Amino acid sequence: MATVTFDKATRVYPGTERPAVDALDLHVGDGEFLVLVGPSGCGKSTSLRMLAGLEDVNSGRILIGDRDVTDVQPKDRDIAMVFQNYALYPHMTVADNMGFALKIAGKPKAEIRQRVEEAAKILDLSEYLDRKPKALSGGQRQRVAMGRAIVRQPQVFLMDEPLSNLDAKLRVQTRTQIASLQRRLGVTTVYVTHDQTEALTMGDRIAVLKDGLLQQVGTPRDMYDTPANVFVAGFIGSPAMNLGTFHVKDGNASLGGTNIAIPRAAVDSLAADDNKSIVVGFRPESLDVVPQGTPDAIPVEVNIVEELGSDAFVYGSLSRALGAEAEQIHSGAGDAQVIVRVDPRQVPLKGDTIWVRIRPGEQHLFHAGSGERITV
């Protein structure tokens, strides 16, 4: 196995000025499962393709182990890639698809068959080895693509949104299988997805990208508990974190009639470009539903209640209560909207007004100017 290192790796596409990937510094440990995640166009697939040798590196370098592979041909990098579209040969059987790379490499037939059968056993594909891809389900085809990578016994697995073509139930099942398989094989894996739920459930660590720039690297728990900036805070978590820009006055973050006590150290750390404002983030589960009239409670008009059985989420509007100032708060539901987790056995009705208050110590504080986290 091997480590993977991006050393200020940059990719600028011809005819553009802004790099698709800008000076990426990232180290993937031996046997680690690292997930690259971010919105469309953030540079995650380009980063993976640079590692695979399918995209040029304009500056910086990429290492696999101690070997600089920046200018090495893809076939000589000892990597195996799993694509979104499976890329199976329709005229070949499952066994032939899985063993094709070994056949091209001139491996003996007996060795090819042995490796294919071992991979098929791991992936529960043994009974399908003589079938053609058209006779398989989407999940089975994806496992064949995985098997083709496994038989090569590479130093690094690269996976580019391999679950995007599967339905929701199969996606959950297959991501569990991939994560378990990677831990069993112990192969260093770099996995690209735009789905932050996949990232949180599969990765040993997550690297969040935006506009070609690395925003934060850490464990799923790090990302959830201590997001490095406003972007990561709003991106990681389902439903998304609520974020509001509050005016700071007398040690409180104030918006409308709501005041949130801010630690003195946070107030002292505010910079000139914050303009005496602070961004307060609070997750849906960090809000308590309280009685009307409770000091500093925020009134929320219920628009939709999403009932999920074990959980229920209120998507509500702040406009009537806070007027124009409501636009200073936003969430995954939009501007002047908040998301609140409520007791699934005591859900409010559409049109009701509930009062919520941020649980003490569970708010996240960010600079209004730079968007960076304030650590106190």
| Sheet strand arrangement including 156-160 | 79-82, 156-160, 188-193, 33-37, 205-210, 213-218
Write down the pLDDT at residue 124: 85
Write down the pLDDT at residue 320: 64
- pLDDT surpassing 70 at residue 112: yes
- pLDDT surpassing 80 at residue 376: no
Q: Tell me how far apart the alpha carbons of residues 121 and 146 are, in angstroms, rounded to a whole number.
A: 12
Which residue from 146, 149, 212, 155 is spatially nearest to 5, judged by alpha carbons?
Answer: 155
Write down the pLDDT at residue 177: 83
Write down the pLDDT at residue 209: 97
Write down the pLDDT at residue 9: 97
What tens digit of pLDDT does each residue of 212-269 get? 999 999 999 999 999 999 999 999 988 889 999 989 988 888 877 778 888 999 999 9
- pLDDT surpassing 70 at residue 1: no
In which band, very low, low, confident or very high, does the pLDDT at 137 lie, cut at 50, 70 and 90?
Answer: confident
Write down the pLDDT at residue 364: 94
Q: Is 175 exposed, middle or buried (0-12, 13-18, 19+ CB in 10 A)?
A: buried
- pLDDT surpassing 70 at residue 321: no
Write down the pLDDT at residue 323: 63
Q: Tell me how far apart the alpha carbons of residues 5 and 64 are, in angstroms, rounded to a whole number.
A: 7
- Reduced 3-state DSSP string for 237-279: CCCCCEEEEEEEECCEEEECCEEEECCHHHHHCCCHHHCCEEE
Query: CA Rg, the chain, in Å?
Result: 25
- pLDDT surpassing 80 at residue 337: yes
Write down the pLDDT at residue 143: 87
More confident call, 69 vs 85: 69
Question: Hey, what domains does the chain have and what are their CATH numbers?
Answer: 4-233 (3.40.50.300), 240-367 (2.40.50.140)
What tens digit of pLDDT does each residue of 149-199 get? 889 889 999 999 888 877 888 888 888 888 888 888 899 999 999 988 899
In which band, very low, low, confident or very high, does the pLDDT at 322 lie, cut at 50, 70 and 90?
Answer: low
Lowest mean pLDDT among 10-14, 18-22, 40-44, 319-323: 319-323
Write down the pLDDT at residue 190: 96
Which residue from 257, 248, 236, 246 is spatially nearest to 279, judged by alpha carbons?
Answer: 246
Mean pLDDT of the chain: 90
